[in-house]
Amino acid sequence: MGKFTIFKGSNSQFYFNLKASNGLKVLASEGYLSKDSCKNGIQSVKENAPYDSRYERKRSINYQYYFVLKAVNGQVIGTSEMYVSSQGMEDGISVVKSEAPNASTEDLT
């Protein structure tokens, strides 16, 4: 089962990562000013993860693949790691879809 981890960055903002059951990070958040906002972001990932239409598949300037997960309002709620293949990116999306909705949360702050 996947797990969200909440941590505080050097800029004093709160972030979360979603780690797959194998321990690899598959999704990272943007910074939040409060821990409660960060927790709301996790809840948004849980609610939006199952829907394929919420994923935007992209390529970086160095031709690696990645995806962003967006809320209904279009706001980005998570960005994936970089993948060397489109299949790797699709596998990452599958992991988020299946593991995020029931993932536990660990507060590291």
DSSP 20: -
Q: Is 87 exposed, middle or buried (0-12, 13-18, 19+ CB in 10 A)?
A: exposed
How sure is the predictor about 109, in pLDDT bands with cuts at 50, 70 and 90? very high
> How confident is residue 56, by pLDDT bands cut at 50, 70 and 90?
very high
Q: Which domain holds residue 8?
A: 3-107
Question: Does 1 score more than 90 pLDDT?
Answer: no
First-to-last alpha carbon distance for the chain, in angstroms, is 22
Number of domains in the chain: 1
Contact 96, 27 (CB under 8 A): yes
Residue 109 CA, chain-centre distance (Å), reads 18
> What CATH number is given to the structural domain containing 43?
2.30.29.80
Task: Name the pLDDT band for 34 (thresholds 50, 70, 90).
Answer: very high
CA angle 57–6–79, rounded 5-degree value: 10
Long-range contacts of 88-94 (CB under 8 A, 24+ apart): 89/57, 89/65, 92/26, 92/67, 93/52, 93/55, 93/57, 93/67
pLDDT digits (tens, 9 = 90+) for 61-97: 999 999 999 999 999 999 999 999 999 999 999 999 9
Provide, rounded to the nearest whole percent, the portion of the chain with pLDDT above 70.
100
pTM exceeds 0.85:
yes
